[in-house]
Amino acid sequence: MENDAVNVSRGSLAHPDIKTMAEVNVDVLKPLSKPGKGWWMLLGLCVLGIALLFWSWGIQMVQGIGVTGLTSPVGWGVYITTFVFWVGIAHSGTLISAVLFLFRAPWRQSIYRVAEAMTVFAVMTAGLFPLIHVGRVWHAYWLIPYPNSRFLWPNFRSPLVWDVFAVTTYFTVSAVFFYLGTIPDLAAARDAARGFRKKFYSVICLGWRGTDREWHHLSKAYIFLAALATPLVLSVHSVVSWDFAVGIVPGWHATIFAPYFVAGAIFSGVAMVITLSVLVRKAFGLEAYLTIKHYDAMAKLCLVTSMIVLYAYLSEFFMAWYSGEEVERAAFWQRLFGGYWWATWIMLVCNGFVPIMLWFKRVRHSIAALFTISIFVNIGMWFERYVIIVTSLHHEYEPFAWGMYRPSTVEMGIMVGSFGWFGFWFLLFTRLLPPVAIAELKEVLPRPMKPVADSSFVGTGSPPGGVSNG
Amino acid sequence: MDSRFAFLASFSYLDSAVKAIERLRKEGLREITAYMPYPEHEIEDALGYGQSPVRVWALVGGLCGAAGGLAFTSFTSVDWPLVTGGKPILSIPAYIIIVFEMMVLFGALSTVIGLFINSRLPQIKPLVIYNPEFSAGKYGVYIEVSEAKKEQAKQILIAEDPDQLDEHQLGDGHG
C-alpha cells in the first residue's frame, strides 16, 4: 500500500512483511486445509502415545497401584512430577495471552494463540495425573464437594483440595479465554471455507459477523477475563507449590516455594512455546508473523525466569547450609551428591547454565539455537520437579525411613504417553483453528487510509485518531 | 405503512467508513451497524459507544463467587466440625484460596454470560446481510432507513466512495 509510511505510528514495524489485512487471512488460514503426510505421521505417533498411556493406565487399574514404584518413603513419584511439569507448561500460555495483554506488550499478538492452545491442552494433560495417581480412578469424584450420604465434606484446610479448585478454575478460565479470542477468527475461517468446513466453522463461531456491538462487548469482556486470569496464573502454581511447601518435609518446607514455582512455570512454559511455535512456523510458513523479534522477546523472558530459578536453587542450598539444621543440610547434600545426583545436575545444567547463552544476541536471533535451548529447558524442568519431589521424600528425618525410588515401566509408559496425548490435541488444533490470532494481529497493522492524493481531508501523517468531523 | 430500506456499503479505507458513519449520524440516521475485521475504536467512537455493561457482570459474578466460596467452606466446616491438624474449625486464611478461586471462576463465567447477552451471541439468524470480506479487511456500514430518507442515506454513502453498495428492501413497517 502506498500510504504505509503515513501509518508508521501504529507500531507496524513488528511485521514489515505483511502488506494488507486480507493477506493475513490467506496466510493464517492456509494451514486449515488438507493435512499432508507428515501431519498424519505425527498424528499416528501421538495416537500410539495415547495407546501407551491408556494401556499402562489400564494395567494399573486392573492390578492396582502396586504396579508403580511408589512405596514408602517415596509416595509421590513420576506421576506428580509429570503433573507439575504439565501445569507449569500451561502457565506461559495465560501469561502471554493475559498478562502481556494487560501490559500491552506489542509482541504477543502473533504468538499467543499457540501459547493459549498449549495451555489448554497442557492442563488437560496435567489433569489426568491426579486421576492416575489416586489409584482407584472410579472414586475420583470424591474430590468434588457434593452432598453425600455421610455428610462428609472435603477438608478445605488441605492444599490438595486447594489444588483441585485452582486447577479446575484454571482449566475452565483458560479454555473460555482461548475460545472467546478465537471466535472472530473462526468467523474468518468460515468466510474462507466451503462445504462441510463452512458449516463447522459457522456453528463454532456462534454466528459471529464482526458488528460494532459484538466487538464492543467482546473487547471489554476480553479485558475483564485477562484481568481475572492474571492473578489466577500466579495463584495456580503458588497453590501447586503449597502442595509441597505446607508439608514439613526437608527440601519442601520453604517460604520461597510459591514465587520459585511460578518463575519455573513461566520458564518452562515459554520454552515450550518456543519449541512448539518454531515447529508451527516452519510447517506452515508463518515467518512473516513469528519474526525474529518475537523469538528475541521470548528468549529474554526465558533468560529472566532462568535467572530467578537459578537464584532459587542456590538460595535453597545456601539456606540449608546457613540454617545449621542437620536434616535440612543432609537433604540438600543428598540432592547434590546422593543417589539422585544425576537428576540434580541435569536440572542445574539445563535450567541454570544452558540458558546463560541467551545473553548473547546471536543466540537469541538464531531459531535453531533457541529451539535446542528450549528442548534443554523442557528436559531440565521435568527433572527439577523430579528432584524436588523424589530427592526430598527419599531422605527425610529418620534414617530407617530412607529409601530409593525407581519408576516402574507402567509409570514411564504413562509419562511418555502423556506427550502423545498432548501432541494429539495440539496437532488437531493446528489443522482446525487459526494458529495466529487474525483479528488481533490486524490491530497492530497499519490502518488502511484513503491515499492522501485523492483524500478530501488534508494533512499527511495524520494519526488515525485525527479524523475530522465531516 | 412506510416501506423500510437498508443499505450495506463496504469500504476499503477506515477513514471513509468513519466519515460515512459520522455523516449519517449527523443527519439523524442512527440505525447503523458497522462491520469491522478487528475492534476499531474509531468506529466505536463514531457510533457513540459508552461503557459496556459487561463490566457489571464481571464485578457481580466475582463478588458472588467470592461470597459463595466463603459461605460454602464455612458451612461445610461447621456442618461436620472435625478438628484436623490442630487448626480451628473455621480456618479462614486457608479458605481464602478457595474464595479467590471461586471469585475468578464465577467472575469469568459471568463475564461470558454478560458478553453473550449484550452482544446477542450466539447469532443463529442466517448470514444474509453480510460480506465475507468484512472478516478479511473491509469495513462495512449497514443502515436502515425509511423511504423518505432513502435517497439522503444513499448519497452520503456514495460520497465516501464505497467498493460495493447493496440495497435491500425490508418488510413493511419493519423496525
pLDDT digits 0-9 by tens, A151-187: 788 888 889 899 999 999 999 999 999 999 999 999 9
User: What is the reported pLDDT for B174?
Assistant: 45
Mean pLDDT of A247-272: 92
User: CB B13 to CB A162 under 8 A?
Assistant: no
Residue-wise pLDDT tens digits, A53-65: 999 999 999 999 9
What residue of A is the nearest CA neighbor of B130?
Answer: A209
Residue A8 has pLDDT above 60, yes or no: no
What residue of A is the nearest CA neighbor of B82?
Answer: A155
Local structure of residue A436 (DSSP, 8 states): S
The ipTM estimated for the assembled molecules is: 0.90
More confident residue, A452 or B87: B87
Helix (H, G, I), strand (E, B) or coil at A417: helix
| Alpha-carbon distance values, A271 to A58, A120, A276, A378 (Å) | 32, 16, 9, 7
Selected residues 146-175 of chain B with any CB under 8 Å from a CB in chain A: none
Selected residues 116-145 of chain A with any CB under 8 Å from a CB in chain B: 145
User: Do A173 and A232 contact (CB within 8 A), yes or no?
Assistant: yes
User: Do A93 and A267 contact (CB within 8 A), yes or no?
Assistant: no
Residue A1 has pLDDT above 50, yes or no: no
User: Do A468 and A34 contact (CB within 8 A), yes or no?
Assistant: no
Selected residues 70-99 of chain A with any CB under 8 Å from a CB in chain B: none
Residue A5 has pLDDT above 60, yes or no: no
What residue of B is the nearest CA neighbor of A207?
Answer: B123
Mean pLDDT of A199-210: 89
User: Do A273 and A110 contact (CB within 8 A), yes or no?
Assistant: no
Neighbouring C-alpha atoms within 13 Å toward the C-beta of A144: 8
CA distance A89 to B49: 39
Q: Is A11 left (phi over 0), alpha (psi -120 to 50) or beta?
A: left
User: CB B104 to CB A156 under 8 A?
Assistant: no
Could you give phi then psi for residue A84, rounded to 5 degrees? Answer: -65, -35
pLDDT tens for chain B, 175 residues long, are 567 888 898 888 888 888 888 888 888 888 888 899 888 888 888 888 888 888 999 999 999 999 999 999 999 999 888 888 888 999 999 999 999 999 999 999 999 999 999 988 888 777 778 888 888 888 988 988 888 888 888 888 888 888 888 888 876 544 4
What residue of B is the nearest CA neighbor of A238?
Answer: B97
CB contact, 8 Å: B77 with chain A? Answer: yes
Cα separation of the two ends of chain B? 12
CA distance B90 to B79: 11
> To which residue does cell 477513514 refer?
B15
User: Do A438 and A289 contact (CB within 8 A), yes or no?
Assistant: no
Residue of A182, A186, A178, A137 lying closest to A32 (CA atoms):
A186
pLDDT band at A14 (very low <50, low <70, confident <90, very high): low
CB contact, 8 Å: A443 with chain B? Answer: yes
Residue of B174, A297, A16 lying closest to A5 (CA atoms):
A16
User: Do A13 and B29 contact (CB within 8 A), yes or no?
Assistant: no
CA distance B33 to B30: 9
Compute the C-alpha angle A22/A216/B111, nearest 5°.
120
Q: In the A/B pair of chains, how many CB contacts fall below 8 A?
A: 214
User: CB A217 to CB B119 under 8 A?
Assistant: yes
CB contact, 8 Å: A208 with chain B? Answer: yes
Residue A458 has pLDDT above 70, yes or no: no
User: CB B111 to CB A470 under 8 A?
Assistant: no
CA distance A92 to A109: 14
Q: What is the pTM of this model?
A: 0.89
User: CB A447 to CB B111 under 8 A?
Assistant: no
Helix (H, G, I), strand (E, B) or coil at A406: coil
CB atoms within 10 A of CB A213: 18
Chain A CB contacts of B14 under 8 Å are: 447-449, 464
